[in-house]
Amino acid sequence: MGKLDFLAELGIETENDGGYAKEWCGSGSLLESFAPADESVIASVRQCDAGDYENIMANAAKAFACWRLEPAPARGEVVRQLGNEFRKHKVALGKLIAWEMGKIQAEGEGEVQEMIDIADFAVGLSRQLYGKTMHSERPGHRMYEQWHPLGTVGVITAFNFPGAVWAWNAMIAAVCGDVMVWKPSSKTPLTAVAIQKIVNNVLEPLEWNGVMSLLVGSSRDVGELLIHDRRVPLVSATGSCHMGRKVGEAVAKRLGRSLLELGGNNGIIAMDDADPEMVLRGVLFGAVGTTGQRCTSTRRLFLHRDIASDITGRLVKAYGQVKIGNPLDPDTLMGPMVDGGAVDTYSAALETIKKQGGEVLYGGNVLDQTGHYVEPTIVKAKPSMEIVGDETFAPILYLFEFDSLEDAIAMHNSVDQGLSSSIFTRNMQSVERFLSAAGSDCGIANVNIGTSGAEIGGAFGGEKDTGGGREAGSDSWKAYMRRQTNTLNWSDELPLAQGIQFGD
């Protein structure tokens, strides 16, 4: 058995006794994928070039011509089969996500569960793409709205959720009648190849090839083609605020639509009446989980002055017990960072933190071993520290103290990003203040739950520099469709709206 034996179950051929995979996606240059746990090369993936891009776009357009006319519940049936196929491969795909991205296996499998959940949600949605009916002001007239598919949706995803974010988009867009072209992160190409193989197992026998296609390639070579392409009416892009500005601008220039899911800088407010154990567990999962590489990772913790020293002491103790190591080892709580660049970002941030007056209470070191391992870090911070305004995509937690909830909310809302937030309290007034229009300015505001680990049933996304997009549940599906208002005259007259008499 090779160390990557789970790849065989995913239909990926390996060499070197199962230790190395070669997969061909297109006819461009080779892209190597590295395991962050031991820095070994796990795969070479042949990327798409401009010619492949054109073929993929042509196939997608051809598929759309038929897929848009398939009844939505029949499209839902195809998505149901996809969900079942994800179920079958949950463990193997979860392991691959862990091995290629670095999150622990439990989180890798949790990510596949999200793919299953959103498929289930989309199946139900396929019978609920409701439009409104309204009363016309004119006699013998009927008015209603209906929703039609948009066309080819470009899906650009980040490395940290190499499967779930694609699925949030693809499952919903599929029941809406769109076809998808997916550009994954170049840090996780093998996960994308494995997912596309699972998709093909379902779509090929049904002759629905072209409904979901994969475009492995760099942002420069294929990403730029996608965002400037007028044949792509919607680009759904997940990644940094920097990327979102570029994508948003390019798509807006051609009057296309973009759905942006960008960086967060998420905070937890712990009031003096909060349950300290719940705070501890919420913060630990939020700040240390996924090695601080979730868009919803907890980056800032605001502690009421009366409980600050107690909670800080508990946190430092808990951080000391976090087992760092191989993401496939069931005892590991924190895996490696995704690559050497991410470790450099962590180190550079710590330099800046010290220069700006932050006090490292725990961690702050890169581990001296093979693999991209760092210590989870707690910093006693000052509101004046500029670096706190940045999303440093690493397990660094800033602590602040406050005296009143108003002050805590003001500090919390002072950053540019607006993704996820939470408060720990048992006081109803504090809860309502935090959730009011003068409270958290984020797209997600939780009570007695941390900032990360959203369920797919709610609309997911954030405000301000996080981009304003909404994905997953609730009525997020509307972003993937175009609305049409229909007015039908069943009378024998032709009355004009607003009672206008014209040429009578």
Q: Which residues bind ligand NAD (CB under 6 A)?
A: 156-161, 165, 183, 185-186, 219, 223-224, 227, 238-240, 243, 246-247, 261-264, 295, 391, 393, 419, 462, 466
With respect to ligand NAD, which residue has the nearer C-beta, 269 or 295? 295
Spatial separation of the C-alpha atoms in residues 451 and 453, rounded to whole Å: 7
With respect to ligand NAD, which residue has the nearer C-beta, 251 or 274? 251
Residue of 23, 100, 114, 261 marked active site: 261
Residue 274 CB contacts under 8 Å (≥ 6 apart), including other chains: 304, 307, 424, 425, 426, 448
Spatial separation of the C-alpha atoms in residues 230 and 178, rounded to whole Å: 15
Backbone angles phi, psi at 190, to 5 degrees: -70, -35
| Beta pairing, strands 359-362 & 298-304 | unpaired
> How big is the chain by its Cα radius of gyration, in Å?
24
Q: How many CB atoms lie under 10 A from the CB of residue 82?
A: 25
Q: Give the nearest distance from C-beta 158 to ligand NAD in angstroms.
A: 3
With respect to ligand NAD, which residue has the nearer C-beta, 149 or 443? 443
Rounded to the nearest angstrom, the gap between the alpha carbon of residue 447 and the centroid of all alpha carbons in its chain is 21
- Respond yes or no: is residue 295 known to be catalytic: yes
Q: Give the nearest distance from C-beta 441 to ligand NAD in angstroms.
A: 15
Q: Give the nearest distance from C-beta 462 to ligand NAD in angstroms.
A: 6
With respect to ligand NAD, which residue has the nearer C-beta, 94 or 223? 223
Spatial separation of the C-alpha atoms in residues 334 and 363, rounded to whole Å: 13
H-helix or E-strand containing 15? strand 14-15
Alpha carbons within 13 angstroms on the beta-carbon side of residue 170 total 31
Q: Give the nearest distance from C-beta 348 to ligand NAD in angstroms.
A: 15
Q: Which string of DSSP letters, residue by residue, matches 98-144?
A: HHHH---HHHHHHHHHHHHHHHHHHHHHTT-----EE--SSTTEEEE
Q: How many CB atoms lie under 10 A from the CB of residue 144?
A: 14
Q: Which of 339, 247, 337 is nearest to 297 (CA)?
A: 337
Rounded to the nearest angstrom, the gap between the alpha carbon of residue 113 and the centroid of all alpha carbons in its chain is 14
With respect to ligand NAD, which residue has the nearer C-beta, 105 or 466? 466
Q: What are the tokens at 214?
A: 């994969």
With respect to ligand NAD, which residue has the nearer C-beta, 139 or 341? 341
Q: Give the nearest distance from C-beta 266 to ligand NAD in angstroms.
A: 9
Q: How many CB atoms lie under 10 A from the CB of residue 340?
A: 12
Q: Give the nearest distance from C-beta 491 to ligand NAD in angstroms.
A: 49
Q: Give the nearest distance from C-beta 203 to ligand NAD in angstroms.
A: 23
Q: Give the nearest distance from C-beta 249 to ligand NAD in angstroms.
A: 10
Cβ-count burial of 49 within 10 angstroms (0-12 exposed, 13-18 middle, 19+ buried)?
Answer: middle
Residue of 241, 295, 442, 471 marked active site: 295
With respect to ligand NAD, which residue has the nearer C-beta, 3 or 294? 294
Spatial separation of the C-alpha atoms in residues 153 and 456, rounded to whole Å: 20
| Beta pairing, strands 179-183 & 133-134 | unpaired
With respect to ligand NAD, which residue has the nearer C-beta, 93 or 419? 419
As a residue count, the chain comes to 504
Residue 60 CB contacts under 8 Å (≥ 6 apart), including other chains: 152, 179, 180, 181, 210, 211, 213
Return the active site residues. Answer: 261, 295
